[in-house]
Amino acid sequence: MARKKRPESPTAAALDPRALDYSASVSYDWRLYPYDIRGSIAHTRMLGKQGIIAEDEATAIVNGLEAIESELDADTFELREDLEDIHLNIEAALRVKIGDAGARLHTARSRNDQVATDLRMFVKDYAGMLTAGLAALQERFCDLAEKYADAVMPGYTHLQRAQPVLLAHHLLAYVEMFDRDATRFALCHELADVLPLGSGALAGVPYPIDRAFVASELGFERVSANSIDAVSDRDFVVDFHHAAALTMMHLSRFAEEIVLWSGPEFGFLRLPASFATGSSIMPQKRNPDIAELARGRTGRVYGNLMAILTTLKGLPLSYNRDLQEDKEGLFHSADTLISTVGVFSAMIPELEFDTERMEEAAGGGYALATDLADYLVRKGVPFRDAHKAVASLVAHAQGAGKSLSELALEEYRRFSPLFDKDILGIDVRWSIESRDVPGGTASRRVRRALKEARKRLAGR
């Protein structure tokens, strides 16, 4: 049998080799192959059903595509740089595999609507994976909050001790953040759930296609309403980047707290050896490398968001080759976020808190001053006047080198005659339990919040 000639790219035949290298994307867009083959199979079945191509040709194309997918899965498929992208690689291999029938695959579609379809399927898949990954991460935070349900820590504003809170209350703040992130990824999935295939290059196609059939085959909820918008729209990519950037920001905030809390200046947290490294010259060090890397990689994810926004801002309708630049940043952000969520989910159960150190710190730094002001308010003093009296009291204690708990009742009464002996009973635990309002840090409110968080996660 004569060896079949490998077809050339229809766009690359006359290109200078440097231009071809510059414009090729197969080195990264190869990872779209599962979506490209799924889309091509659905498109082919529709062409056969509608009588646009013969049924036997449709069958041959589907069989050929499935064989190519098996080769790609097994990493035995030869990717050719001269064919620019994964889409042309698959189409060229199909023609070699099944002959002239392979040339009919591209009937009633353009690479413009083909690529847009692949990318939407990618975003839908990864948005779903991240929603699931965030749920697992939230479970780990809930587990840690439950483990340290009674632990007390200082709450901070301006990175200065402010008021005592439960550690569980602090940890559950991140569960709320990740709830919002999961909502954004669910919205990403919804907004990407529009089939552009059938839009052609930009004006639609002159064939009796059945777009609803293809949408059903590929799991799309609806089809695009405007062919020009369909091939040029990358809002769904921006949406994914935006959700990824916010999620990385939330992870980075916790990463920063891991860095701070594990240092000797705080001493609240001991890093697990499996998620920390030593110094090359200082044997005493245990460095929070995982947290620092997450903090650093957040900037790269931000950069990907700005890159796609900058790419899109000057593009006239409809398709422009600039849109080829939509993929590398998307892949990078998706991979970075999935790996960061995964490593944090593994690390969080291994964190160990020094609860004695935290509770001691919670009572230091005059953190109960607000409780003293509230005490006077309950005695009828306007809050601003109470604030002023307690500020003077704190200044006196600082000058005397005393903590609030070391002050005698007579010293309290110098600043307000309304202070009575029960003021001596105000401590860290009293302060926490007094915040018994919805969303507050009182232990029963935190237990209820933990229960509600578990309930939400179970229903996701």
Question: Which residues are CB-neighbours of 379 under 8 A, at least 6 positions away?
Answer: 418
Q: Which of 158, 318, 339, 431 is catalytic?
A: 158
How many angstroms from the chain centroid is the CA of residue 7?
42
- Lowest mean pLDDT segment, chosen from 2-6, 36-40, 388-392: 2-6
Q: CA torsion 330→333→335→338, rounded to 10°?
A: -130
Rounded-to-integer distance, Cα 202 and Cα 394, Å: 71
Residues 160, 365 contacting (CB under 8 angstroms)? yes
127-151 mean pLDDT: 98
* 13 pLDDT above the threshold of 70: no
138-146 mean pLDDT: 98
Q: CA torsion 325→327→329→333, rounded to 10°?
A: 170
Rounded-to-integer distance, Cα 85 and Cα 96, Å: 17
Output the pLDDT for position 367: 87
Residues 430, 371 contacting (CB under 8 angstroms)? yes
* 357 pLDDT above the threshold of 90: yes
* 10 pLDDT above the threshold of 70: no
Output the pLDDT for position 5: 39
Beta bridge partners of 161: 156
Helix (H, G, I), strand (E, B) or coil at 162: strand
Half-sphere exposure of 286 (CA within 13 A, CB side): 15
Average pLDDT value over all residues in the chain: 94
* 4 pLDDT above the threshold of 80: no
pLDDT in tens, 55-87: 999 999 999 999 999 999 999 999 998 899 999
* 219 pLDDT above the threshold of 80: yes
Q: State which amino acid sits at residue 325.
A: E
Half-sphere exposure of 96 (CA within 13 A, CB side): 16
Residues 398, 437 contacting (CB under 8 angstroms)? no
Beta bridge partners of 277: 287
Residue whose C-alpha is closest to residue 362's, from 165, 195, 86, 200: 165
Percent of the chain with pLDDT over 90: 89
Sign of the alpha-carbon dihedral angle for 257, 258, 259, 260: positive
pLDDT in tens, 405-441: 889 999 999 999 999 999 999 999 999 999 999 999 9
DSSP state of 322: G
- Tokens representing residue 47 in the block: 């062409």
Quote the Cα angle for 317-321-327, to 5°: 110
Say if residue 160 is exposed, middle or buried (CB neighbours under 10 Å; 0-12, 13-18, 19+): exposed
Which helix (H) or strand (E) is 194 found in, with range?
strand 194-195
Output the pLDDT for position 405: 86
Beta strands, E only, 240-296? 269-270
Q: What is the pTM of this model?
A: 0.91
Catalytic residue status for 241: no
212-226 mean pLDDT: 98
Output the pLDDT for position 280: 52
pLDDT band at 6 (very low <50, low <70, confident <90, very high): very low
Catalytic residue status for 158: yes
Output the pLDDT for position 9: 53
Rounded-to-integer distance, Cα 339 and Cα 334, Å: 9
Residues 153, 362 contacting (CB under 8 angstroms)? yes
Q: Which of 27, 279, 392, 405 is catalytic?
A: 279
Which helix (H) or strand (E) is 440 found in, with range?
none
Rounded-to-integer distance, Cα 139 and Cα 348, Å: 10
pLDDT in tens, 158-214: 999 999 999 999 999 999 999 999 999 999 999 999 999 999 999 999 999 999 999
